Structure 1
Amino acid sequence: MTPATVAGRVEIDLSVYNPFDVESVRDPYPSVERLLTDYPVAFHKDLNAWLVSPHDLVAEILRDPRYSTRFADWKDAPAPKAEAEWNLYDKLQSLALPVVAPAEHMRLRRLTAPAFSRRVMDRIEARIRDAVIGIFDEIENPAEFNVATEIAAKVPIRAIARMVGVPPEAETLFEHGLGWNLVRAQNPMYAAQDRQRYIEGTLPGLRYLLDIVAERRAAATTGAEDDADADFIGTLLATEIDGERLTDWEIVTLITALVTAGADTAVDLHTTVIRALLLHPDQRAILRARPELTEGAILEVLRWSGHGKFGGFPRFPLEDIEVGGQLLEKGSFVMPMFAPAWLDPAKWPEPRRFDVTRNHAGNIIFGAGPHLCIGLNLVKAQGRLVIEEFERRFGDQAEIVGDVEYDPTHFNARRMTNLTVRTAA
């Protein structure tokens, strides 16, 4: 493959795709369809990134080992610090699942798998159910309330805190400290000084997690921890495969991966799932009659809503690679565009139609390949519990009132800030 065999470079700017334009945030379909039709693979000059939109090409990139998820492989990444200058965040990044070598990545996946077993997840789900019920109990005025602030903003981080075993008084540290800053600290869309501020914001939460894991390991070593009640961290500490165990830092790395997803991406699931079901009473009725469709319905909500402005982890080619007739240069910033891929008519018949019975075979809604979302079962459990509790309390007596409001400045999500629901409560 040589540059000479590639068609002329396709370039776009904010006039074609502006993820921060309020109208595009309210209604993503026109810009998404334009990317798919006119600019399936294009270099965005204002974002300094390649945008890849068709479902088949996005899936190909997610599975291709020639792409790195390591921030250091971006040609414009800052020079690495000497190890002697590392802070806790730098140490975390050296061990994170997206950046370690493939063999190490598979080792970590193998050692963490038991913590996501059905036995452990069932015990965690019971804790999450109590958290979800408690959040619904806290709604100040159940007759009319904002789903975004009273449900969606609370469920994910509280669920993860219960999963990890964090006491209620530390949940704010997770939500507004660790989670908020982790999702921004390594995003190339931010200026270097902003990323440094976000890095510093992660440090108290990282220290807190390291202390928790160290305390739990000490308790397990002395026999003070009851193995019969092994939870998520307890399982991670106890797992030994071929003589290998996870270190404290590796356990913290896994927890922060879950916190990152929970503090940001999962927040949008709960507003979009309630909005989708209230806008489609026929689909809501089907789901009520066939609750076994709930997991597929959650996938359909995420697919149909087009809630992401970009994708998951950016990719950085380790060599020049041709994609869709364009040459993606080594070290360039490549963003697999999930929203267009999830709405691509070449993959999804009638993509704008919301259908809880849709076949999702071959979907990339939670990613694909070695970096498939590690917390997808946790996200699905949260979504199902929110649907069940909303139905139990409000049944058919709920409707959206007023305008849905969004935060156009959010760097990645079509984040709803107001979804007011009126009920008969």
Structure 2
Amino acid sequence: MSTAFPDPATLVADPHAAYARLREAGPVHKITGPDGLPIWIVTRYADVRQLLADPRLSLDKTHRLPGQYKGFTLPAALDANLLNMDPPDHTRIRRLVTQAFTPARIQRMRPDIQLLADQLLDSVADRGHADLIAEFAAPLPITVICDLLGVPHDSRRDFRDWTDALVAPDPENPDGTKHAVAAMLSYFPQLIADKRRTPGDDLLSDLINVRDDSDKLTEDELTSLAFLILSAGYENTVQLIGTAVLALLDHPEQLAALRDSPAKIEDAVEEFARFDGPALLAIRRFPVEDVQIGDVTIPAGETVMLSLASANRDPARFRDPDRFDVDRRDSGHVALGHGIHYCVGAPLARLEAQIAVSTLLRRFPYLQLAAPREELRWRPSMRARGLLALPVSF
């Protein structure tokens, strides 16, 4: 018997309460998804963590049975990416990308990210108020990831719009997603052609050289990889920064503790990710054989969603899990994944969040929410957790 998925308004307004009810009722539920198709939702930390690294759950859509949840379908030129692959292709491509996100390379980016954070805050400092999403949390990661890939400055606003249309489609603009996909399909091949003619000191030029010299990437893989790095590198980080700042504003004693002890920022970012991370659900998976969870069997080929948000609030793993605490010591969250599909850009996302939040608190120590809490609007998405705007005064 299927269970109705929490209605979209409830899920967007308070996903943690909705997932708490599911988690308490059982470790796995067969849900009727928004499209009327069945989804298995896994809710408890131990199961989610184990299944994130379980090779019996495939990301390859060829393992999906007919009539299963599809999610949003991209054309092949954007779909041949790490979110749809298992080893050995996943291993081959991830090895290439990991070279761009080594700790040493990420730390070399610190001065530029710090300069950018200060410049963005300089632009609003005299005004005394700002929308931290539009004017800080969004432009920071899109600039960083575009610099990393070598995307020209005049295209960056377009990329923000295209990614927003894919992650959280506007119900009042039903053709927005289709237009965003068409724009990306047109833009990426042209960008790659430009980089072939005039290589730069950037990641996309490096990936093109790998594809052309060693033939380790197909053309679709190259285009899809650029698309994934850009969209995920922007979207996850803007959401993480936004929800982090809101959590601090909701807990002024924690804001004061972090402001007065900035060395706590690394641990605080882990708590930001655990408490209200950027993804409610991991990317859909398809069992290649029947999988047993407790007394429930998930048949091969059906669609499985692992609830990262639920796992990160599981009282069996985290003490007082609904309490936000920048000094928390029981870490081990799964907000950025686990196993071979762990977020390859996690070191960069962590660094950006550390710099963004610490700089904001240093520059604007009397930061306050400038709108009623209940009027804040969230992305209308069952997978992504992010604010549409965050008005503040300082």
Q: Per the alignment, do residues 293 and 253 of structure 1 end up closer, same or farther by CA in structure 2, a change over 3 Å counting? A: farther
What secondary structure is seen at the aligned counterpart in 2 of 1:355? coil
User: Structure 1 residue 34: deviation in Å?
Assistant: 1.0
Aligned residue among 72, 75, 85 for 1:89? 75
Q: Per the alignment, do residues 105 and 35 of structure 1 end up closer, same or farther by CA in structure 2, a change over 3 Å counting? A: same
User: Structure 1 residue 248: deviation in Å?
Assistant: 5.5
CA contact (8 A) 2:143 2:156 kept: yes
Structure 2: distance between partners of 1:45 and 1:133: 46
Aligned to 2:146: 161
4+ runs deviating over 6 angstroms: none
Unpaired stretches in structure 2, ≥5 consecutive residues: none
Aligned to 1:71: 61
Q: Does 1:129 align with 2:114?
A: yes
What secondary structure is seen at the aligned counterpart in 2 of 1:51? strand
Aligned to 2:191: 212
What secondary structure is seen at the aligned counterpart in 2 of 1:322? strand
Q: Does 1:358 align with 2:358?
A: no
Q: Per the alignment, do residues 215 and 119 of structure 1 end up closer, same or farther by CA in structure 2, a change over 3 Å counting? A: farther
Deviation sequence 1:267-316 (CA, Å, 0-9, x none): 221221112223334333443454443232112112112664x4121111
What secondary structure is seen at the aligned counterpart in 2 of 1:297? helix
User: Structure 1 residue 348: deviation in Å?
Assistant: 0.4
Aligned to 2:367: 398
Structure 2: distance between partners of 1:46 and 1:231: 40
Q: Per the alignment, do residues 77 and 125 of structure 1 end up closer, same or farther by CA in structure 2, a change over 3 Å counting? A: farther
Q: Per the alignment, do residues 32 and 161 of structure 1 end up closer, same or farther by CA in structure 2, a change over 3 Å counting? A: same
CA contact (8 A) 2:290 2:299 kept: yes
User: Structure 1 residue 212: deviation in Å?
Assistant: 2.8
Aligned to 1:37: 24
CA contact (8 A) 2:59 2:85 kept: no
Aligned residue among 335, 350, 353 for 2:305? 335
Structure 1: distance between partners of 2:176 and 2:301: 25
Q: Does 1:202 align with 2:181?
A: yes
Q: Does 1:173 align with 2:161?
A: no
Q: Does 1:21 align with 2:13?
A: no
Structure 2: distance between partners of 1:176 and 1:73: 32
Structure 1: distance between partners of 2:178 and 2:87: 25
Name the aligned partner's letter for residue 337 of structure 1.
Answer: S
Name the aligned partner's letter for residue 187 of structure 2.
Answer: Y
Name the aligned partner's letter for residue 26 of structure 1.
Answer: A
What secondary structure is seen at the aligned counterpart in 1 of 2:230? helix
Aligned to 1:84: none
Name the aligned partner's letter for residue 162 of structure 1.
Answer: D
CA contact (8 A) 2:60 2:86 kept: no
Unpaired stretches in structure 1, ≥5 consecutive residues: 1-8, 81-86
TM-score by length of structure 1 reads 0.79
TM-score by length of structure 2 reads 0.84
Name the aligned partner's letter for residue 106 of structure 2.
Answer: M
CA contact (8 A) 1:50 1:328 kept: yes
- Over aligned residues, Cα RMSD in angstroms? 3.2
Name the aligned partner's letter for residue 33 of structure 1.
Answer: A
Name the aligned partner's letter for residue 342 of structure 1.
Answer: N
Q: Per the alignment, do residues 35 and 306 of structure 1 end up closer, same or farther by CA in structure 2, a change over 3 Å counting? A: farther
Name the aligned partner's letter for residue 92 of structure 2.
Answer: R
Name the aligned partner's letter for residue 111 of structure 1.
Answer: L
Q: Per the alignment, do residues 72 and 201 of structure 1 end up closer, same or farther by CA in structure 2, a change over 3 Å counting? A: farther
CA contact (8 A) 2:377 2:387 kept: yes
Q: How many matched pairs?
A: 382
What secondary structure is seen at the aligned counterpart in 1 of 2:388? strand
Q: Per the alignment, do residues 127 and 89 of structure 1 end up closer, same or farther by CA in structure 2, a change over 3 Å counting? A: farther
Larger radius of gyration between Structure 1 and Structure 2 = 1
Q: Per the alignment, do residues 390 and 301 of structure 1 end up closer, same or farther by CA in structure 2, a change over 3 Å counting? A: same
Aligned residue among 364, 376, 387 for 2:346? 376
Deviation sequence 1:11-49 (CA, Å, 0-9, x none): 3214xx33x125x53333432221111133111124421
CA contact (8 A) 1:89 1:199 kept: no
User: Structure 1 residue 97: deviation in Å?
Assistant: 1.3
Q: Per the alignment, do residues 74 and 326 of structure 1 end up closer, same or farther by CA in structure 2, a change over 3 Å counting? A: same
CA contact (8 A) 1:128 1:162 kept: no
Q: Per the alignment, do residues 304 and 100 of structure 1 end up closer, same or farther by CA in structure 2, a change over 3 Å counting? A: closer
Task: Provide the identity percentage.
Answer: 28
Q: Per the alignment, do residues 90 and 29 of structure 1 end up closer, same or farther by CA in structure 2, a change over 3 Å counting? A: closer
